[in-house]
Structure 1
């Protein structure tokens, strides 16, 4: 799955965290495309023109050697049935389990802002995809000198789905995207039908361990997880409800009391299920242990906290449904 939201870890996810603290939700303008054909020494190769964060770019109609320099793009490539020849290294512990085997098997070409241009060139990509976060935006010219480079706009007015939607446009997999959207919509409808009353009656907060010293982060209703909860028809507890649009709230670990009216708290986990990004500092406090949500065992962990794909978003729904069923 982000990104709008902080990152999953070191590398692109971790660096994005600092940027995303003020750019919470994830949307972008629709990426249109047109088709044409170009002639090279090897013959005629079909191309398409797609809209990107850096303007219109001519790309192969059916790219075969794709390098992804951002985890959100990587996850959508996997979702769309593609096998990139190179991907980012954002930290193994932050890769959702469904992608882990494929991610491990793919050469790594970046570690955060440290981009190995030589390694990317050796992979002979015919397309480079990513998200226009600041460190990648700075690298755009060097990357586009290697191969056509398409970045999804990184905006603070977005929804998480903007990124998989853009990636699908870049790689010409819109029919596969439509199937993923239908699957997501069907899961939303099924969970609402089964748990509609519980979802509407309970109050939900969304948090993760922060990268501010001594603080954790409270996410708003328009954060990636918040947006999915909204589609499910939940009520937000006061902490999440008080966060301004497109923002997060950084508060001291000592302020566990801010979660006092939550019936459920959603938080970020590593892919092994352990608490991510120091949120265990909050969990260890007696004040947190005394909260009604803790005593009722309604802490909902998910490794898909920062969804970069439709499968990630469905993973969030699965985690919430499991908590409601328990």
Structure 2
């Protein structure tokens, strides 16, 4: 589910830390967990606003923000936040509108029924104000970062820090913390981890013997994108114990590679090719241009009918990630094409 065209990910440093730096990092991480726990429970930060409603202080991409302890009217300005709110049983009063075709089926009914606060990257400030939010949530992507002051003038605004190379789980975790639903998030995480373990048990041998390439239709003319093993799909495949083919392993961590549609041959050693679909199952973002080529049709994965489409290709929530796992499981068992 997209709030904007997915940006190619950038490389991140992978140099090993020296022992004293590793200890410092561990201590810092422990402190961060304590602070997050305090924020989620209100420990040390509980107070009230002018109306007497309980408030707490949370950490966001734009520093400390005072928010309602139990927000009742939440506007989400990013799809990843919207999906997590719905996962947590929170019904927002307003959501982003980045196009119905990108909304995964599990969220579509709720998304359609909710007033829209944006159109693509254009925010409707008047509409957001009319919705009378007591909290605005989102992700600090560039256009929302620029809009932060205007949004925070309407209501307390909590944007999750955005990092193109970040683990996808950072965003649902942040949203749950913003809306004080960390206990419910812990349940979702446990469900996800149990599903990973179950599929590793049932399909472990197949996964260990499989090599996957991860691709998407490109927004740049004439090219498709190859994702790295550290992409959201790559991360989930790694957790499942799958292997990767050479096209995906050739992409640096946190990056994507844009290549001509004519280079279908780059996928020649993949047992499975997984790609992004719209919510109706149709190929997304012009990838059908690749599929139409004879060179693609002759690939081993295509001949074996092991090309796997999924609307959960860019997971923004744990339910998306669970859908991604199901797509892989079905593919390994001949239930997907």
TM-score grouping bracket, smaller chain normalisation:
over 0.9
Shift in Å, 1:113: 1.9
Shift in Å, 1:13: 2.7
Shift in Å, 1:39: 4.0
Secondary structure (helix, strand or coil) at the match of 1:218 reads: strand
Report the Cα distance in structure 2 between the residues aligned to 1:75 and 1:244, rounded to whole angstroms: 28
| C-alpha distance after superposition, 1:286-316 (max 9, x if no partner) | 0000000000000111101110000000000
Distance 1:23 1:86, change over 3 A: farther
Secondary structure (helix, strand or coil) at the match of 2:117 reads: strand
Structure of higher CA gyration radius = 2
Distance 1:167 1:211, change over 3 A: same
The question of 1:21 aligning with 2:11 is answered no
Contact 1:57–1:148 (Cα < 8 Å) also in 2: yes
Shift in Å, 1:22: 2.9
Task: Give the corresponding residue for 1:192.
Answer: 200
Report the Cα distance in structure 1 between the residues aligned to 2:322 and 2:102, rounded to whole angstroms: 17
Report the Cα distance in structure 1 between the residues aligned to 2:153 and 2:229, rounded to whole angstroms: 40
Secondary structure (helix, strand or coil) at the match of 1:314 reads: helix
Task: Give the corresponding residue for 2:100.
Answer: 92
Task: Give the corresponding residue for 2:290.
Answer: 282
Shift in Å, 1:77: 0.2
Secondary structure (helix, strand or coil) at the match of 2:158 reads: strand
Report the Cα distance in structure 2 between the residues aligned to 1:193 and 1:302, rounded to whole angstroms: 22
Shift in Å, 1:151: 0.4
Task: Give the corresponding residue for 2:143.
Answer: 135
Task: Give the corresponding residue for 1:4.
Answer: none
The question of 1:249 aligning with 2:257 is answered yes
Task: Give the corresponding residue for 2:58.
Answer: 50
Contact 2:222–2:261 (Cα < 8 Å) also in 1: yes
Contact 1:225–1:316 (Cα < 8 Å) also in 2: yes
Contact 1:24–1:223 (Cα < 8 Å) also in 2: no
In structure 1, which of residues 27, 30, 36 is the aligned counterpart of residue 46 of structure 2? 36
Q: What TM-score results when the alignment is normalised by the length of structure 1? A: 0.92
Distance 1:128 1:39, change over 3 A: closer
Shift in Å, 1:202: 1.0
Shift in Å, 1:112: 2.0
Q: How many pairs does the alignment contain?
A: 309
CA RMSD of aligned residues (A): 1.5
**Which 5+ residue runs of structure 1 have no aligned equivalent?**
2-7
The question of 1:111 aligning with 2:119 is answered yes
Report the Cα distance in structure 2 between the residues aligned to 1:175 and 1:214, rounded to whole angstroms: 46
Shift in Å, 1:23: 4.1
Report the Cα distance in structure 2 between the residues aligned to 1:156 and 1:142, rounded to whole angstroms: 24
Report the Cα distance in structure 1 between the residues aligned to 2:242 and 2:321, rounded to whole angstroms: 16
Contact 1:24–1:248 (Cα < 8 Å) also in 2: no
Report the Cα distance in structure 2 between the residues aligned to 1:254 and 1:156, rounded to whole angstroms: 28
Report the Cα distance in structure 2 between the residues aligned to 1:126 and 1:213, rounded to whole angstroms: 42
In structure 2, which of residues 300, 307, 322 is the aligned counterpart of residue 314 of structure 1? 322
Task: Give the corresponding residue for 2:279.
Answer: 271
Task: Give the corresponding residue for 1:5.
Answer: none
Greater RCO structure (CA 8 Å; 6+ sep)? 1
Shift in Å, 1:128: 0.2
Shift in Å, 1:45: 1.2
Contact 1:24–1:224 (Cα < 8 Å) also in 2: no
Report the Cα distance in structure 2 between the residues aligned to 1:131 and 1:66, rounded to whole angstroms: 14
In structure 2, which of residues 184, 190, 197 is the aligned counterpart of residue 176 of structure 1? 184
In structure 2, which of residues 240, 244, 256 is the aligned counterpart of residue 236 of structure 1? 244
Please give the residue correspondences for 1:217-236 in structure 2 after superposition, counting only pairs within 5 Å: 217-236=225-244
Task: Give the corresponding residue for 1:300.
Answer: 308
Shift in Å, 1:48: 1.1
Contact 2:4–2:121 (Cα < 8 Å) also in 1: no
Secondary structure (helix, strand or coil) at the match of 2:46 reads: strand
**Larger relative strand fraction:** 1
Distance 1:24 1:313, change over 3 A: farther
